[in-house]
Amino acid sequence: MPLSLLASTALSDSERMPPPPPRRASDSPELETVMATVSTAFHVSADHGQLPDLVLVSDDTVQFYVSAARLHTDNAFAGVLPATGPLIAGLPSAHVPDSAEVLNIVLHACYGLSPAAFSPSVATLVAAIDRFPAYGLDGKALLAPATPLHTLLVAQAPLAPMLVYVAAARHDAFALAAASSAYLLSYPLYTITDELAEEMGPVYLNRLFLLHRRRLDSLKGFLAQAPHPHVEMPTCGFAEQATLTKSWLYVTACIIMEAQPDTTASAIESTLYSLMPQLSCMSCKAALKTRIEKLAVDWSLVGRTI
């Protein structure tokens, strides 16, 4: 067949082929479907006692379905209420300038729920607490002893006691500050910077200093009381018992030089019991043992919190 006829036939065949189907948007590698991220705790079907009537959208675009009545704010939740943003699932929305991690804890506090399931760090918890004033929330009430947030912070306090103490001080949450202060007995107060002192304020700074001072003064008072002398005996009179008293004063002076507010009773007992091998009088040994036991009990009863 002549080449010209072949070309003509091929052209006519191509003209008879149906056009390709239109390309769908989903087929394009350059187009991606944007999926909304919704809070696992505050989604549209979450049962928290009240149906959601707005959607709060965090800075990282996570959606939180909440009821405005549960926010208990005195400044319209930083001025975003009533929500006037685009409708999401039929509800008005509002943008809030915080990450989902922080906003999640703030909303858990408003609802009286514990955020423990999300395993937030102490730093994140404190960051959320510090946002309470911005949202017109009563930090002192939200950190009260009966609240889940208080319980979680107390459990986390050993990890970062000063961080928790300062946060509690800023909101005058005394119970939380007291609980965290128990873990600050070993804290070197001379390292507190001017900025940190300003953050906790003069009242709570003074309370922390007084806690350390009160414990050390109490320990000094206990150590100043030497074992009670026993009745003079032919083998152990005044001179022999005076030796025990001198040894006691020397050892206790060493303890006081090294003592810290968190010095343990067992450490004190161990040091004082080192005097026992020097004694040959059974009555002196009994007096020393009685005094050490009494001192250990007294020291354990000294308050460990502000």
Q: What CA–CA distance (Å, rounded) separates 43 from 52?
A: 9
pTM beyond 0.85: no
Question: Which token pair is 167?
Answer: 């946060």
CA dihedral sign, ordered 68, 72, 78, 82: positive
Separation in Å, CA 37 to CA 41, 61, 92, 258 = 12, 7, 17, 56
Q: Would you state the pLDDT for residue 142?
A: 97
Average pLDDT over the chain reads 90
How confident is the model over 55-83, as pLDDT tens digits? 999 999 999 999 999 999 999 999 999 99
Angle 82-88-92 from CA coordinates, rounded to 5°: 10
pLDDT at 1 over 50: no
Q: 232-264 pLDDT, tens per residue?
A: 888 888 888 899 999 999 999 999 999 999 999
Residues facing 64 on adjacent strands: 56
Cα separation, 21 vs 27, in Å, equals 12
Rounded to whole angstroms, how far apart are CA atoms 140 and 133?
Answer: 10
Question: In whole angstroms, what is the distance from residue 256 CA to residue 253 CA?
Answer: 5
What size, in residues, is the chain?
Answer: 306
Helical residues (DSSP H) of the chain, grouped into ranges: 3-16, 76-79, 100-111, 122-129, 139-142, 148-156, 161-170, 174-181, 194-223, 238-258, 265-272, 282-300
3-class SS at 257? helix
